[in-house]
Amino acid sequence: MCRHPGRLTAVVCVVMCAGFSYAQTELAEGTEAVELRYVGEVTGNAVYVRSGPSHNHYPVAKLDAGTRLQVHRVVNGWCEVDSPPGCFSLIHRNFVDVGADDASGVVNGENVLVRAGSSLTADLYARQLKLNRGDEVRVLGPHNDDYLRIAPPPGAHLYISEKLVARVADGSLDTPVRALTGSESQPERDPDIDAGGTAGDTDETSGDDGAESGSPALPETSQDKPSGIAAHTGLAVMEASLEQELEKPVEHRDYDRLVKGFQQIADGDESEQARAIAGSRVMQLEHAVTAQRSLLKLRDLSDALSAERNEAMRERTLIKPLPRPIGGGFDAVGELRVSMLYGTASSPRRFRLVSTGDKPRTIGYVEIPADLQLDMQEYLGRRVGVRAHERRLQTGDVDPVVIYVVQELVVLDGTDSP
C-alpha cells in the first residue's frame, strides 16, 4: 500500500492559468499604496520575491538580475508584481473538484482563499485573493495533505523590494540576454539589514544569501551576444553548445560536459572578461546539475510510489463485498448530508453519508440516479438506511471512497437498525 503519499508533492509542472473573478490582496490598515503600472527589471542576483510587502513576509522564490516583471503599484517601498514564471499558489483540496485529467479543477465553494505558495519555505499563511463557486483553476499537483498547487490566478500578486527594481524604458516584459561578468553595479544594502548579512533579511545580492545559496536558472542564449563572448572564439563555441543543450529535455542535458568546457576557459584564458563570463556559467551550471539530479530522483520515487499504489488498488478490486440476501437489511446506515465535493452542477448527484455517535466519520457517498425522483429535503440531516443496487469503490489520486448507487432510501427512527 502507499504509505507515503506526501512525497508526491515535489513533482510539479508549470502551466498556463485560465480566467477568474478575483478580489484584490488585502493590505494591513495604515498601509500606503501608490497606484503605478510599469515594467520593472531586477537589478541584483538571488533577490527574494515575497508573499507580502515587508521583510516579515516569507519568501516564495529568488530572481536574478535582468528578470522583468509587471509592476502594478508600490506598497510601502515594495513593488506589487504579477507572479513570475515558476511560482505557484495554493488552495485547499476540499474546495476544488479535480477533473479526470488531474490538471483542471473547478472551485466548489464561496470565498475560497488562495494563498501564496513557496519553494523556499513551508509557510502558507499569506492570502492572495478569493475564488467562488464555478471558478476554474489549473492544478499543478499536490502540495501537502491539505493543499493543492495551482497556477497563480490573475490578481495573485507577489512583492519585491522597490530598491531592487529599475523601471524599463521600452516597457517590454521580454527579458534581455545578459552575460554575467560580476562587474554589474550592486544596489545599496537596506539599512535594516546587518552589513555582514548575518541577521535580518537578505534580499540583496551580498551576504549569506548570495547566488550560491539558491538555484538560479540559466539565462537564455541568443544570437545577440555581448561583445565579450563574440570576441572570444572558445567562449562563443561553448555558448553555442549551451544553446543547443538547453533545447533538450532537462533529463537529457549534458551539463557535466559544459561545466568542463567553461571551467577550462575560466582557469586558463588571458582575457579577464572571458574568465569572468565562463566562471559565472560554471556556477550556474553546477546549480543546474544539482537540480537535474534531484528531479531524476523525484521522478524515480514518483514512479515507485505510483506502482505501489496501483498494486494496492488492484488488490482492493479483488475484495468483493458479501452479497445482501433478498429481503435483507440496509447496505449502509447514517446521517445524510450535503457534499462539498459534489456541489457543482457538473458533478454527479451525490450526498455524504456520516456515521452517528461521538466521533462521526464519513461512511461513503450516496449517489441518486437520474431516474429516481426523490425530494432530498425529506432526507437531508436525518438518519437514513440505504439499499443500493450497486456498490463500487472510486479510486484514482485520492484514497478509495465507497459509492452507494441508491435503489431505496428509508428514513429511520431511533429503534431501526441495519
What per-residue string of b and e applies to 78-98 under the rule 16 or more CB within 10 Å gives b? bbbbbbbeebbbbbebebbbb
Q: What is the spatial distance between Cα 78 and Cα 62, in angstroms, rounded to a whole number?
A: 15
Q: How many helices (H) and strands (E) are present in the chain, helices listed first?
A: 4, 19
Q: What is the spatial distance between Cα 223 and Cα 216, in angstroms, rounded to a whole number?
A: 22
For residue 175, what pLDDT is reported?
61
Q: What is the spatial distance between Cα 298 and Cα 279, in angstroms, rounded to a whole number?
A: 29
Q: Please tell me which residue, 337 or 14, carries the higher pLDDT value.
A: 337
Lowest-pLDDT range, 26-30, 118-122, 211-215?
Answer: 211-215
Q: What is the mean pLDDT of residues 47-55?
A: 94
Whether pLDDT at 400 is above 90: no
For residue 418, what pLDDT is reported?
42
Whether pLDDT at 311 is above 80: yes
pTM: 0.40
Contact (Cβ atoms closer than 8 angstroms) between residue 148 and residue 96: yes
User: pLDDT band at 276, cuts 50/70/90?
Assistant: confident
In the numeric block, the cell 561583445 is attached to: 227
- Per DSSP, helices labelled H in 169-271 are 227-230, 233-246, 255-268
Q: In whole numbers, what is the pLDDT of the chain averaged over residues?
A: 77
SS3 label, residue 352: strand
Q: What is the mean pLDDT of residues 156-172?
A: 90
**All 3 cell numbers of residue 220?**
537564455
Question: In the chain, what are the domain boundaries?
Answer: 11-167, 218-297, 332-411
**All 3 cell numbers of residue 204?**
540583496
For residue 225, what pLDDT is reported?
43
**All 3 cell numbers of residue 304?**
515507485
In the numeric block, the cell 513570475 is attached to: 84
Lowest-pLDDT range, 98-107, 146-155, 329-338, 355-364?
Answer: 355-364
Q: Which residues pair with 311 in a beta bridge?
A: none
For residue 229, what pLDDT is reported?
56
Q: Which of 231-240, 271-280, 375-384 has the highest mean pLDDT?
A: 375-384
Q: Please tell me which residue, 271 or 107, carries the higher pLDDT value.
A: 107
> Backbone phi, then psi, for 62, in 5-degree steps?
-125, 145
Q: What is the spatial distance between Cα 212 and Cα 304, in angstroms, rounded to a whole number?
A: 32
Contact (Cβ atoms closer than 8 angstroms) between residue 7 and residue 305: yes
Architecture of the domain delimited by 332-411? Beta Barrel (2.40)
Q: What is the mean pLDDT of residues 276-296?
A: 89
Whole-number percent of the chain with pLDDT over 70: 72
Whole-number percent of the chain with pLDDT over 90: 35
**Tens-place pLDDT, residues 74-96:** 998 999 999 999 999 999 999 99
Contact (Cβ atoms closer than 8 angstroms) between residue 120 and residue 60: yes
Q: Please tell me which residue, 357 or 222, carries the higher pLDDT value.
A: 357
Whether pLDDT at 177 is above 80: no
255 contacts: CB under 8 Å, gap ≥ 6: 245, 285, 288, 289, 292
* Nearest C-alpha neighbor of 349 from the set 396, 397, 409, 398: 409
Q: Please tell me which residue, 218 or 302, carries the higher pLDDT value.
A: 302
In the numeric block, the cell 507580502 is attached to: 52
Q: What is the spatial distance between Cα 342 and Cα 271, in angstroms, rounded to a whole number?
A: 66
Side-chain-side CA neighbours of residue 133 (13 Å): 11
Contact (Cβ atoms closer than 8 angstroms) between residue 76 and residue 27: no
Q: Please tell me which residue, 67 or 346, carries the higher pLDDT value.
A: 67
Whether pLDDT at 29 is above 70: no
- CA distances (Å), origin 319, targets 29, 213, 309, 365, 393: 58, 51, 16, 19, 11
For residue 268, what pLDDT is reported?
81
Whether pLDDT at 155 is above 80: yes
Contact (Cβ atoms closer than 8 angstroms) between residue 351 and residue 376: yes
195 dihedral zone (left: phi>0; alpha: psi -120 to 50; beta): alpha
**Tens-place pLDDT, residues 211-267:** 333 334 454 444 444 445 555 778 888 888 888 888 888 888 899 999 998 898 888
CA 66 to chain centroid, in Å, comes to 24
